[in-house]
């Protein structure tokens, strides 16, 4: 059955972020349960990347599946222009309460679109107020999705060279990186001083700041400090410029708090959400706005309205899945589950660091990362592919970002399972060193 499925795939499917001429064999997945996926032959694989950072509670979560079933029987879909329904209203109320923003929620269908909505709203926010502000401030190396506006924000992430001529210019802020045993206070002060000059010289050209708070995901799980994020956002907001927090990856306890910004003193004006919002079961995006941003779109005619939407905006079934997921996240003691995962990660990193096998180890909440020392750089680094194959043969799914190894599992993973993964990592690193490459 596996070979037949793989052949049919080879004849019909174009996979994301894949060079089909050189890619290795696909893993034919048939089912999932808890922290594990199972292939068509029944072999189990521990999902240590939460199926591209979306799965929170494990595969086959009964509460979410039940919510989907009952909502699909009651109301499967209805257009959302001129119509409303209970799941969308309830979800929007819940997201406003959880984020602490007091405005409105715009529902869409993925993380890139959630950012695109925020970007368009920021541009039109100033236009509706009689100003033209065409520039956006971003963190250098950030990634915000694959739609054209989001690509422009992430043009320095290394993913979008083929589309350079389509992208508008942005104002970039260098991001001093931190990891275990390494701060960047002096570099942070220099960057903040440069930002102050930019705001004085060109602040009236800037529509918004867009940040991935505390961790830049796809560019290599690069960490920055709370103080740096607070300094940047504080300076920008003091200049009257809205801050957009892209929490597509960092939200829903990934960094130990429900939303990453809640582990800091930053209070953004806009929050973009997706990935874990439905527990990793169905696609949904949400862009949450403070009231002053929303009110700039009120007026006597359509020209001041936000002209954006999708056929599946606020799909009731997807909203029901999100509500079931949020109910699970609000269970007493859920944050401690993430804290236990962080402790297991720290124990594993200590094990690798004691042997001097890794560089730039870092961990926060349910995200753990390090660099393979002595290897290649770039998204297609051979070491990352080699490690992924080595781990898969031993029943663990990981997907390194080039020479950056990261772990972002479902929260149901146990300390024993994390320990087993670090044993596999250690075995590969020893093999890598014996080959004379590390």
Residue positions annotated with a catalytic role: 17, 143, 246, 275
Distance of alpha carbon 134 from alpha carbon 380, whole angstroms:
34
The burial of 162, by beta-carbon neighbours within 10 Å (0-12 exposed, 13-18 middle, 19 or more buried), is given as: exposed
Distance of alpha carbon 17 from alpha carbon 430, whole angstroms:
29
> Dihedral through CA 20, CA 22, CA 28, CA 34, nearest 10?
-100
Number of CB atoms found within 10 A of residue 157's CB = 20
Exposed e or buried b for every residue in 114-123, given b needs 16+ CB within 10 A?
Answer: bbbbbbbbbb
The burial of 293, by beta-carbon neighbours within 10 Å (0-12 exposed, 13-18 middle, 19 or more buried), is given as: buried
Cα 250 to Cα 92, 212, 257, distances in angstroms: 19, 8, 9
The per-residue DSSP string of 400-411 comes to -BTTEEEE---T
Encoding tokens for residue 189? 């002060």
Half-sphere exposure of 153 (CA within 13 A, CB side): 29
Beta bridge mates, 59: 34
Of 108, 92, 111, 147, which is closest to residue 311 (Cα–Cα)? 108
Encoding tokens for residue 106? 């715009």
In this structure, are strands 171-173 and 135-139 parallel, antiparallel, or unpaired? Answer: parallel
Phi, psi of 146 (to 5 degrees): -115, 5
Phi, psi of 18 (to 5 degrees): -135, 130
In this structure, are strands 104-108 and 285-289 parallel, antiparallel, or unpaired? Answer: antiparallel
């Amino acid at each position: 059955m596996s070979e037949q499925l793989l052949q049919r795939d080879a004849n019909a499917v174009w996979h994301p972020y894949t060079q089909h001429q050189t890619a290795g064999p696909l893993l034919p997945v048939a089912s999932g349960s808890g922290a594990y996926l199972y292939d068509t032959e029944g072999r189990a694989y521990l999902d240590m990347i939460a199926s591209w950072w979306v799965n929170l509670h494990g595969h086959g979560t009964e509460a979410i599946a039940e919510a989907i079933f009952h909502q699909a029987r009651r109301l499967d879909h209805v257009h959302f222009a001129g119509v409303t329904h209970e799941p969308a209203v309830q979800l929007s109320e819940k997201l406003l309460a959880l984020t602490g923003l007091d405005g409105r929620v715009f529902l869409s269908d993925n993380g890139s679109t959630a950012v695109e909505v925020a970007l368009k709203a920021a541009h039109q926010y100033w236009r509706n107020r009689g100003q033209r502000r065409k520039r956006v401030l971003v963190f250098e190396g950030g990634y915000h999705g694959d739609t054209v506006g989001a690509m422009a924000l992430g043009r320095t992430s290394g993913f979008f060279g083929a589309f350079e001529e389509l992208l508008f210019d942005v104002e970039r802020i260098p991001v001093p990186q931190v990891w275990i045993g390494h701060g960047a206070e002096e570099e942070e002060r220099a960057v903040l001083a440069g930002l102050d000059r930019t705001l004085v010289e060109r602040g009236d050209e800037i529509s918004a700041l867009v940040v991935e708070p505390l961790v830049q995901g796809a560019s290599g799980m690069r960490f920055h400090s709370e103080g740096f994020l607070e300094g940047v956002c504080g300076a920008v907001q003091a200049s009257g410029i809205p801050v957009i927090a892209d929490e597509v990856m960092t939200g829903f306890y990934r960094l130990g708090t429900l939303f990453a910004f809640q582990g800091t003193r930053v209070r953004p004006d806009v929050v973009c959400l997706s990935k874990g919002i439905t527990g990793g079961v169905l696609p949904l995006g949400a862009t949450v706005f403070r009231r002053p941003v929303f009110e700039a779109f009120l007026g006597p005619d359509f020209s001041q309205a936000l002209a954006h939407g999708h056929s599946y905006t606020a799909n009731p079934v997807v909203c029901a899945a999100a509500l079931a997921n949020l109910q699970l996240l609000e269970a007493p003691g859920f944050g401690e589950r993430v804290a236990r995962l962080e402790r297991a990660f720290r124990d594993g990193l200590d094990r690798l660091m004691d042997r001097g096998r890794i560089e730039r180890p870092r961990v926060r909440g349910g995200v753990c990362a390090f660099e393979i020392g002595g290897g290649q750089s770039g998204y297609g680094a051979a070491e990352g592919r080699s490690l992924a194959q080595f781990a898969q043969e031993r029943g663990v799914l990981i997907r390194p970002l080039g020479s950056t190894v990261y772990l972002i599992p479902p929260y149901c993973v146990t300390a024993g399972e994390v320990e087993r993964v670090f044993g596999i990592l250690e075995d590969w690193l020893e093999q890598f060193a014996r080959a004379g490459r590390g």
